[in-house]
Structure formats: C-alpha cells, structure tokens
Amino acid sequence: MVTLETVPWDDADATRLRTAMQAEMRDLYQDDDEPVPLRDTSTIAAMVLLRVDGDPAACAALRHVRPGSWGAGEPGPGLGEVKRVYVAPRFRGRGLSRRVLAEVERLAAGAGLHRVVLETGDRQTAAMALYEASGYVRTERYGGYADVEQSRCYAKDLVAP
C-alpha cells in the first residue's frame, strides 16, 4: 500500500531520506564537503513523504520563493521551487518519484503558485529524464545555481486546480 502525506520539514523519516540523498550526492559527485543545509526552512511550504507498506520510501519538498531572495533576475510572485526529490534505492523503478513530484505540483497549484522550478546536477540522468517526462523544460540556471556549471535547472508552468 502506498500513502502520501504532508509532514513537517523536520519529520524524522523525511530527515532520514534527505540525509541518505545527501550522502548519495556526495558519492556521485565525489564531494567530501559536508552537505549544505537548506538555508531558510521557513520557506518550506510542504514536505511530502511517501510510504510503501508503512516504510518511508520517497520525499519531495515545495519551497516558496520569497521576493528579494534571488538577487539579480528576481523571478516575481507565484513561483515555487521543488526541493529534495528522492526515492530510497530499494524502492526505485516503481514510479514513486512521479507520484511525489505530482503531489508537490498539486500542492503548489493549490497554494496559488503558477510556476515551479528545480535544480539537479548534470550527473543525475534519471532525475533529468523524470523532469523532462513530467513536462519540465530546461531553463537558465537561477539564484544560487547561476554560476554552478554542473547545475541543470528546469521549470514547469502549473494549471490551477
């Protein structure tokens, strides 16, 4: 049985999944630096947790983009950012990433957001394929990713519920 729920950012199961994601990214990019935490968790509008038979399997978050938070190239109102999309390795290949992504988009549209953006790395080919198959289009690197060569940024316009 698959369940989706919205949990607090600091939910223990969601935190474990995000920590596992960060470890996987450090290995993928051969980066020994400690992961950079999300700077301002007060901007998190929703943390989605997907469980399979009660076990935490996947997560994703929605962050409101506050005016003034990006500096040059400010995006304007109605924009959200998808963060921390992750499926634990033993649950991959079941379409769970599509489900958490769709739930975040549903929550974003329900909150009046008209567009979402996200960033992934150039070595995350499965993630890029997911986003492109889900209707996201490549866009210019934005905000803190503007000068990060390995960043790949995507955007999707949402339809109000």
Strand, helix or coil for residue 45: strand
Element (H, E) at 44: strand 44-52
Using one digit for the tens of pLDDT, what is the confidence trace for 19-53? 999 999 989 988 766 555 666 788 899 999 999 99
Strand, helix or coil for residue 140: coil
Q: What is the DSSP letter of 142?
A: -
Please give the C-alpha separations between residue 125 and each of 87, 118, 128, in angstroms, as whole numbers: 14, 14, 5
Please give the full DSSP string across 54-123, using - where no structure is assigned: TEEEEEEEEEE--TTSS-TT---SSEEEEEEEEE-GGGTTSSHHHHHHHHHHHHHHHTT--EEEEEEETT
Whether this model's pTM surpasses 0.95? no
- What pLDDT score does 35 carry? 54
Using one digit for the tens of pLDDT, what is the confidence trace for 117-143? 999 999 999 999 999 999 999 999 988
Domains of the chain in sequence order: 2-157 (3.40.630.30)
Residues facing 61 on adjacent strands: 47, 83
- Give yes or no for a contact between 130 and 86, defined as CB atoms under 8 angstroms apart: no
